Structure 1
Amino acid sequence: MDRKAMMSLSTVNSLTPRAFLEAFGDVAEHSPWVAREAGSAMPFATRDDMILSFERAFRAANHDAQLALVRAHPDLAGKAKLTEDSTKEQAGAGLNTLDAQEFAHFTDLNTRYKQRFGFPFIFAVKGATKHMILESFAARVSNTPEVEFQTSLAQICRIFRFRIEERVSP
């Protein structure tokens, strides 16, 4: 089964645990445990219930598991190899077309941010422009570590929503 193909909620609800994991194990960046936990809440009454199941699974995890998922995300506009979803999302925000000055600005912010917080800057880029991302980046780098960690968790939950909405029809 093409795990990126749009499917109905009834199809999702008919998946075996293994097939659910194959279809949605990559929704949480390099962290299939989130889908495994979320799938245990099947059947879902609505697509939003499915999205909330991913969020609940992530938020119920211990701090170390949450931090590992945060750290599994790539730097925005970085040179690291990205997952298919991250590549598409960053390209949609124009991060694949930065000029040298913009790239240097992102690189500087990525470095300062990771030095301050110990994890990469997380921003659900779908629907955003590179200017919106830079503005948020510049503002968030002065947050307290706890505020920024919670902001990162919320952004990851937004990423779950966007990715599931692309794969499951309402």
Structure 2
Amino acid sequence: MTTNPERTIPPTTAGERAMLESWLDFHRETLARKCVGLDDKRLREASAPPSALTLLGLVRHMAEVERHWFRRVLAGEQEAGRIYYDEADKDGDFRVSESDTWEEAHATWQAEIARARENAAGRSLDDLSAGGHRDIESFNLRWIYVHMIEEYARHNGHADLIRERIDGATGF
């Protein structure tokens, strides 16, 4: 990745739906910007021992999170299996190897974001999900948006620290 992707600036006076969607896009784009200018080797670089957390692992994780909440939970697409992890290795999305690339992880992540937008389009924020998560049977779309914003915000904090550790870059 060589150029900074555009970043949505959330409006300060929008309605609830526009506000939630723009904050989610802002955080999606923030994670992408944290990866700008780094090659695959640097994207696989762990933050600080003993943590194995990497920027590439965060992108893979967020592809899984997008798939889970917008496909399996919201749309009830139970056939949408896991991408990078399984029951034997529940942290497989975070574990990267020399063969894992930005090109593949980014393409997968962007495909899941596109599918998330499709699955949310035309739904009311009050619409209930067709699937559940753990012991909870349903979630409204509003809850899913708020949860996704929280999930990205938390991991963008991790991404800040990882990027600074790699090359001293801050901000974005």
Superposition TM-score, scaled by structure 2 size: 0.31
Larger fraction in helix:
1
